[in-house]
Structure 1
Amino acid sequence: MTHDTCVTVADPYGALSGCARATGGQVQLWQFLLEELAAGAPGICWEGPPNEGEFRLSDPDEVARRWGRRKQKPNMNYDKLSRALRYYYDKNIMSKVHGKRYAYRFSWAGLAAACQAQAGDAPPYWHYLPPAAAAHATPTTTAP
């Protein structure tokens, strides 16, 4: 699959680090995807302003292989990864972007709720701007 032009962003994952710590070191798939997006890893990219949460897997098989390596699951493939992504739909953590192949959208509010349930208090990414906010705005955090 070819790599199309993607939007890059400095570090959206940094604003979610409080939630990452709350999971006790076990990396969740959504956390891995945000790490990959923040690192500008090949095969995954933002599909617009990051505050809108939409991203695309331009090489889903490669992203699945990296996820498999991270979780020590050598048989990981896109079919298995996409099954895990569908679990997040019911949790309102992310959704499929209809009409676009391999495109998904994070729900910042859903992530906040999931993280709050794990940590017991609001994580720093509560301050992500909603999709209606300015297109070039950057996430902010408050001091703990």
Structure 2
Amino acid sequence: MKHDVKLFWLPLLFKGPNYLQHYSSPILYDHVGFPCFKEQGGLQREYLWEFIRDLLHSPEKNSGILEWEDRGEGIFKVVKSNSLAKLWGQRKKNEHMTYEKLSRALRHYYKTGILERVHRRLMYKFGRNAYGWR
């Protein structure tokens, strides 16, 4: 597997949620074409909300799984829930991933301000603590 490597400054959160550190990091791309950020000692954890954000920004990788409902407000809709769960499961090397499990993780983001509630089925909104979705 060939990896394209680029260097740039990337903000990373570790050592607790209030500790922000910038450093130069090589980017490696996985088999689907999404970036894996290399940090000292291993790969940085990718979060589900970032995966969804990146899918929304990459229509060629999205395959109609997600679509913007109101991009200016950060509202998006899950069109193919089982396909999203399967893609996330492949990404995390979990062949037993279901949309039920994935949506539970998405609901957890309400508490952290990454997502806000939208009272419609399969709809979500990026919250005040989400970045890079605009």
Match of 2:29 in 1: none
Provide the rounded CA distance (Å) in 1 between the counterparts of 2:82 and 2:117. 17
Partner of residue 105, structure 1: 125
TM-score with structure 1 length normalisation? 0.59
CA distance in 1, matches of 2:129, 2:13: 16
- Per-residue CA distance 1:29-67 (angstroms, 9 max, x = gap): 01000111011202101112x231100000111001100
Q: Structure 1: how far apart are the matches of 2:52 and 2:102?
A: 11
2:54 to 26, 35, 45: 35
Unaligned segments of structure 1, at least 5 residues: 1-16, 113-124, 129-138, 140-144
SS of the residue aligned with 1:111?
A: coil
Aligned-partner residue type, residue 103 of structure 1 = M
Q: TM-score, normalised by structure 2?
A: 0.63
Please give the secondary structure, in 1, of the residue aligned with 2:77.
strand
Counterpart amino acid of residue 103 in structure 2: S
Percent identical residues: 33
Structure 1 residue runs of 4 or more that deviate by more than 4 Å after TM superposition: 21-24
Give the drift of 1:26. Answer: 1.2
Q: Which residue of 1 aligns with 2:3?
A: none
Structure with the larger strand share: 2
2:83 match? 62
The Cα offsets for residues 59-91 of structure 1, whole Å up to 9 and x where unpaired, read as 111001100000011100100000101110111
Deviation at 1:22, TM superposition (A): 4.3
Q: Does 1:75 align with 2:85?
A: no
Partner of 2:36: none
Give the partner amino acid of 1:76.
Answer: M
- In 2, Cα distance between equivalents of 1:61 and 1:95: 22
Cross-structure match for 2:114: 93
Higher share in helix: 1
The letter of the residue matching 2:67 is: C
Summarize the alignment of residues 133-144 of structure 1 with structure 2, pairs less than 5 Å apart.
Answer: 139=134
Q: Which is bigger in relative contact order (C-alpha 8 A, separation at least 6)?
A: 1
How far has the Cα of 1:111 moved from its partner?
Answer: 2.3
SS class of match (1:110) = coil
Distance 2:13 2:97 in 1: 25
Count of matched residue pairs: 95
Instruction: Give distance in 1, aligned partners of 2:73 and 2:125.
Output: 8
